[in-house]
Each structure stands twice: as C-alpha cells, then as structure tokens.
Amino acid sequence: MTASVREAGPTLAERLNDTYAISAFAVALGMGATVGTAIGFEKIGGYIPCMLCLQQRIPYYVGIPLMTLTLVLALLRFPALLTRGLLAAGGVLMLYSLYLGAFHAGVEWGWWTGPHDCGVVVAPDTGVGGNGILDAINTVIPPSCNTAALRVLGLSFAGWNAVASLLLAAVAFRGAFARS
C-alpha cells in the first residue's frame, strides 16, 4: 500500500508575502491614512472642506473597501487575474484622485477657474425680515475653492492629495502588473 502524501497549501506567512496582497494592503493603508488625515484636519483642526475637497475624498471612500476586498481575495488565493484587475481598478481610482487634486491645486494657484458654485451661498429673501445674528447661527458658509486653507512645504491639502494619489497609483499599478 502506498501512502498518499497530501500537499499542504500555502502558509499564512507565504500568503502575506504575496505581491498582490502586499500591494493591496499598502494601497488600502495609504488610502486610509490619506483620507483619515483630511478628516482629522476637519474634525480636530477645524478646517472646513470646500466642495472640491469633499469630491477628492470619493475615490478614497470607494477605494478603501475595494483594496480591502482585494487583500482578502489575494490572501484566499483567488485567481490572479481577479486580484490584478482589482489592483488596476484601485490604480485608476487614484489617477482620478490625482486629477481632482491637481485640478483643485490649479484653482488655488489661479491657473484656471474652479466651479462657479464653490463656496457661494445665497440666502433666499423670504421677506420675513430679520437678517440678524440669530438668523445666521445655523448657516455655515463653506470656504471658497480658490483659497488654500493651509500650505505645508508650499503645497495645499489638494496638492498633497495629488502627491499621495500619484504614489498610491504607482503602488497599485506595480502590484497589478507584477508577477507574483
């Protein structure tokens, strides 16, 4: 009688060393850190985001769960084509985020005009009167998109988002097109 030797699957350490898993983890972590920093400046620092700032967060809100799913699929050894495709999708999201950040930074530098409705609040004339301080308590006027709230090393939040998006896109595409 011959004993059949069953080949064991990859260990957790081997799965964690997978290029797709590492890339998905790095991109998800980077996305979380980037959007978390923006939310931290808003909630803790008191910076009110403009309309373009909020739009720049959307690729992160989509990308974080997508990259987390990609990580899980890579660890579970789903077909490489699927994980590579999801990594490429994450890279495309970050390229879109790069576009949004560069566009917003250009608006801040005055290179081109931004949306006409960014930061503009028009209170309707109700004819009731008032217009005193108590009427304005619940009104928050968002900041204009053409004014940087803060610059660090010469770059605004939008500029730093463009840099982060470029780096995250590079990591995602490197993982998508690498051989594991």
pLDDT tens track for 73-129: 999 888 888 999 999 999 999 999 999 999 988 887 778 777 777 765 444 444 445
Is 124 part of a structural domain of the chain?
no
pLDDT over 80 at 155, yes or no? no
pTM of the entire predicted model: 0.75
Is 49 part of a structural domain of the chain?
yes
Longest dimension (CA), the chain: 98
Is 1 part of a structural domain of the chain?
no
pLDDT in the model for residue 118: 72
Helix (H) or strand (E) holding 33: helix 19-43
Q: What is the three-class DSSP state of 166? A: helix
Is 39 part of a structural domain of the chain?
yes
% of the chain beyond a pLDDT of 70: 71
Beta-carbon contacts of residue 57 (< 8 Å; ≥ 6 apart): 35, 38
pLDDT over 70 at 148, yes or no? no
φ, ψ for residue 49, nearest 5 deg? -75, 145
pLDDT over 80 at 173, yes or no? yes
Is 152 part of a structural domain of the chain?
yes
Q: How many domains does the chain have?
A: 1
Q: Are 108 and 156 in contact (CB under 8 A)?
A: yes
